[in-house]
A = this chain, B = another copy of it.
Amino acid sequence: MRLHSAILSSLAHHRITSRFRQIYSLQRPANATAPMATSEDSLRRALAEKQSTIDASGNTIRQLKSSGASKSEIDEAVKALNALKLEKTSIETQLKASISGDANGSVMSRDAFRQAVVNTLERRLFYIPSFKIYRGVAGLYDYGPPGCAVKSNVLAFWRQHFVLEEDMLEVDCPCVTPEVVLKASGHVDKFTDLMVKDEKTGTCYRADHLLKDHCKDKLEKDLAMSADKAAEFKHVLAVLDDLSAEELGAKIKEYGIVAPDTKNPLSDPYPFNLMFQTSIGPSGVSPGYMRPETAQGIFVNFKDLYYYNGNKLPFAAAQIGQAFRNEISPRQGLLRVREFTLAEIEHFVDPDDKSHPKYSEVEKLEFLMFPRDLQMSGQSAKRLCLGEAVSKGIVNNQTLAYFIGRVYLFLTRLGIDEERLRFRQHLPNEMAHYAADCWDAEIESSYGWIECVGIADRSAYDLRAHTDKSGVALVAQEKFAEPKEVEKLVITPIKKELGLAFKGNQKMVVEALEAMSEKEAMDMKYVLETKGEVEFEVCTLEKTVTITKKMVTISKEKKKEHQRVFTPSVIEPSFGIGRIIYCLYEHSFYMRPSKAGDEQLNVFRFPPLVAPIKCTVFPLVQNQQYEQVAKNISRSLTAAGISNKKDITGTSIGKRYARTDELGVPFAVTVDSTSSVTIRERDSKDQIRVSIDEVAAVVKEVSEGRATWTDILKKYPAHTSASADE
C-alpha cells in the first residue's frame, strides 16, 4: 500500500497519508522538526521582559506626575520610556522575521516577489485559471501557449534524460481505473484527508488546514504570547500530519476554532476520499476512479514488461500522464491542484543486489542534502558528496543514490538554482513501514521548501499487493548456473490427528500451521520436543488451540534448487511536473530597469532547453525588404525545428526586446540590413553580427546546447547598437 507506516503498524496515530500525500503535502515548516530552542523563543522572552519594563516605566511616570515631580524629571522618564518602546519595536521586528523565516526582516518581500512572478505569468498566459469565463474551478489551471511550450520542453527533456539515456520502458495507461486496482493499492480505503463541515452551511474544510492556520496566525500576530504557549502551537504544527481524527477534533474544540467564513460551529473531523469517482460502462455496477498516480499502471504490467526485457533485472519502466486528486479546498495556487501531470519511474531490482552499473557517473556529485540526523538535531541541510553519503550509510543503496544524482542533474539543467535545491530524507514517522529509504527533492520557492520529486525505495510492497489481489505472481527468477543446495523449512500437519482434535476447524488450523514463519516454526518445534504440547493462536478462529507433538512434524530439509524466485524491489522516482515548472518560473524570474530607468522590466532567464520560444525575429523598421528577410529567417528556423516568433509591429525595438524578455526568449534576431543581422542574447544583452546565411545554423546550435553563447561571442564580431533604442 502506498501509505504511511503509521497506518499499518499498530502505532497510536492513525492519520492516513499516502506516499503520494508526502510528495504533494505542504512542506512542514523548516524548523518544525527541530526540537532545540530557537532564537524565536528567546525573542519572545525578551519581548515579554521589555513589555514589563515598559509597564513599570509607565507606572513610574504616572507616579511622578501625580506626586508633582519636576518637568525635567518627568521628561527624562518619558525619554527613557520612548527608548524602551523603540527597543520593543526592534524586538518585534526581529521576532516577526524569525517567525516568517526571513533573515532580513522583510516579511513582505516573498509575497511581493511571488505577486510579481504570478502577475507576469498570468498576463503573458503562461497559465490561465481554467473555465475563467464561468468563474473558474478552484485547483484547475490551463497552460496557455508559453506555459504549454515550457511543459512540453520539460517533458521532452525528461524523456531524453531518463527514458532514452537509461533505456527505460515507457508505457501509457488510461486515467480511468477500475476499483479493484485501487483497492489492491490501498487508495480506496486509505487515500483520504480529514474534513470538517460548517454545521449550518455544509461548507467543507480540511481539518488540518484550519488547525494549522489557527496556530500560525496566533504565532504571527500574538507577539506577546508566552514562550510556553508558543512552544505548544509549534509542537502542534510539527505533529500535524500525525494527528488522528479524534486528536484533530479535540484540538479544534480546545482552541475554539470555527468556520472561517461564517463563524459557525464545525462538525467532528471525518475522512474524505480524495479520488474522483466515476462509473465504468452503462450498468452503474462497475465503480471506477480517475487514477491518483500513474504508478499502478506500471505495477499491473510488471509481468509483460519483465518478459519484454528478456526476463532480466534490473529494468525501469516509466510513465508520463495526468493524475487526479479531488482536493477538499485547494490553496497555494499552482502548487496544489486537482489535476496534474506526473512523470513516474519504477525501477525494479533484485532486493539482494541494489548496486547500479552507472553509479560511478554520479558518485562524485556534491549538493545540498538534509539527512535524517541533521533534521532531528535541528541543523540545516549540508553540501555532501553523494558517494560519501552512500559509503557512510546515509543513503540506503547505490540505485537510490544513482537516481538522486540523476534527479539533481535533471533539475539543475532545467534551470533550478542549485542553492535552492536540497534532498531531504524522510523521517521515520513519514515513511511507510515497508520502505527502505526515501528522499524528496525539495525546491525553495516563495512558499518555502516544496517537495517536487520523491525518490523512494518501496521494497517489494506494490508488486506483492497486486500479486495477492489478482492471484497473478508478479515475480522474477534467477536461474542458477549450477543447482544450489538450500535448507528448507518443511511443516507437515498430520491431518488425521488434527481432524480428530478440531473437526470442522481443522482446515483453519492446518492453514495457520503452514503459514508459520521459520522462526515461529522452529520455536514450536523446540517447545513440542521439550514439553510435548504448545498453545497456538489461530487468527482465523480468533482463539488459541493446543497443538500436540502428534499433530505436526517440523523439520529442515536440504533441497536442490535450480532457480530463485523472488519479488523484486522497486525504487520509485516520482516527479510533480507542474510543481517543478512553477519553481522554475520563480528561479528564472528577475527584474531590471529599462534603459531610460523609468520602469522595471521583467525577465525569465530560462535556459534555451526550456524556453517556450527559442528566438524572435524583428525587422528593425517596417520595410518590405527587411520583412521579407525576417520571413525567410523565420522559415528556415522553423524548418530546423527551432520555435520562433516574428514581431513586425512598428513598436520600438526596445519595447519588442522587453516583450520577448518577459517570455524568456533567449535570442532575438534583428534585421537591419539585407546581408547580415544582429543576434542579441537576453540576459547579457550582448549582440553579434552574423550573415543571413548562417543565422539559422547559429541559433540552432546555441538553442540546442551544442555551443554556448560564450563560444558564439568568440566566433562572430560584436555589434554595438547605435540604432536600437534599448
Q: Which A residues are within 8 Å of any B CB, using their own CB?
A: 124-125, 128, 130-134, 137-138, 140-145, 147-149, 151-152, 156, 159-160, 164-165, 167, 169-178, 180-181, 195, 202-204, 272, 276-283, 286, 288, 290, 297, 300-301, 303-305, 308, 310, 322, 324, 326-329, 338-339, 466, 469-470, 472, 474, 638, 641, 643, 645, 649
Say whether B280 contacts A272, CB under 8 Å: no
Determine if A145 and B170 form an interchain contact, defined as CB atoms under 8 angstroms apart. yes
Whether B178 contacts A131 by the Cβ 8 Å rule is: yes
A134 to B132, CA, bound (A): 40
Interface centre among A134, A141, A300, A470 (most CB of B within 10 A): A134
Cβ contact of A178, chosen from B134, B181, B202, cutoff 8 A: B134
Contact present for B142 and A297 (CB under 8 Å): yes
| 3 A-B pairs with the lowest CB-CB distances in the bound complex, closest first | A143-B172, A133-B470, A133-B472
**Chain B residue at minimum C-beta to C-beta distance from A147:** B172
| Residue of B with least CB distance to A338 | B176
Write the chain B residue with the least CB distance to A340. B174
Residues of chain B lying within 8 A (CB to CB) of residue A195:
282
- A148-B171, A156-B156 given; 20 more Cβ-contact pairs under 8 Å: A130-B297, A131-B177, A131-B181, A134-B180, A134-B470, A144-B301, A144-B308, A145-B169, A151-B172, A160-B641, A174-B338, A175-B322, A175-B339, A176-B338, A176-B339, A195-B282, A276-B280, A276-B288, A280-B326, A281-B328
Please, how many angstroms separate the alpha-carbon atoms of A469 and B171 in the complex?
Answer: 40
Report the nearest B residue to A474, measured CB to CB: B133
Query: From DSSP, what is the main secondary structure of chain A's interface residues?
Result: mixed
CA distance A584 to B678 in the complex (A): 45
B142 touches A172 (CB 8 A): yes
Q: List 26 A-B contacts (CB under 8 A).
A: A130-B297, A131-B300, A133-B300, A134-B178, A134-B181, A137-B286, A142-B171, A142-B174, A143-B171, A143-B172, A144-B308, A145-B305, A147-B172, A148-B170, A156-B156, A160-B641, A164-B643, A165-B638, A167-B645, A174-B338, A175-B324, A176-B290, A204-B281, A204-B283, A276-B288, A282-B328
Judging by beta carbons under 8 Å apart, are A304 and B144 in contact? yes
Kindly identify which residue among B141, B151, B176, B203 contacts A140, using a CB–CB cutoff of 8 Å. B176
Q: Closest B residue to A136 by CB, please name it.
A: B178
Which B residues touch A133, using CB under 8 A? Answer: 300, 303, 466, 470, 472, 474
Q: Which residues of B contact A300 (CB under 8 A)?
A: 131-134
Residues of B within 8 A of A474 (CB): 133
B278 touches A272 (CB 8 A): no
Cβ-defined contact, B326 with A203, below 8 A: no
List, in ascending order, chain B residues with CB within 8 A of A649's CB.
Answer: 310
A152 cross-chain contacts in B, Cβ below 8 A: 159, 170
CB distance from A345 to the nearest CB of B (A): 14
- Residue pair B204, A282 in contact (C-beta under 8 Å): yes
**Chain B positions within 8 Å of A141 at CB level:** 174
Instruction: Choose from B159, B203, B278 the contact partner of A276 (Cβ within 8 Å).
Output: B278
Q: Beyond A125-B308, A144-B308, A310-B649, is A173–B283 a contact (Cβ under 8 Å)?
A: no
Q: Which of A141, A169, A174 has the most CB of B within 10 A?
A: A174
Measured between beta carbons, the chain B residues less than 8 angstroms from A203 are 283
Q: Give the residues in chain B near A280, CB-CB below 8 Å.
A: 137, 276, 326, 338
- Say yes or no: B130 contacts A173, CB within 8 Å: yes
Chain B, residue nearest A170 (CB): B148
Chain B residues whose C-beta falls within 8 Å of the C-beta of A178 in the assembled complex: 131, 134, 137
A138 to B280, CA, bound (A): 9
In the complex, what distance in Å separates the CA atom of A288 from the CA atom of B134? 13
Q: How far is the CB of A300 from chain B (nearest CB, A)?
A: 5
A286 to B327 Cα, complex, angstroms? 13
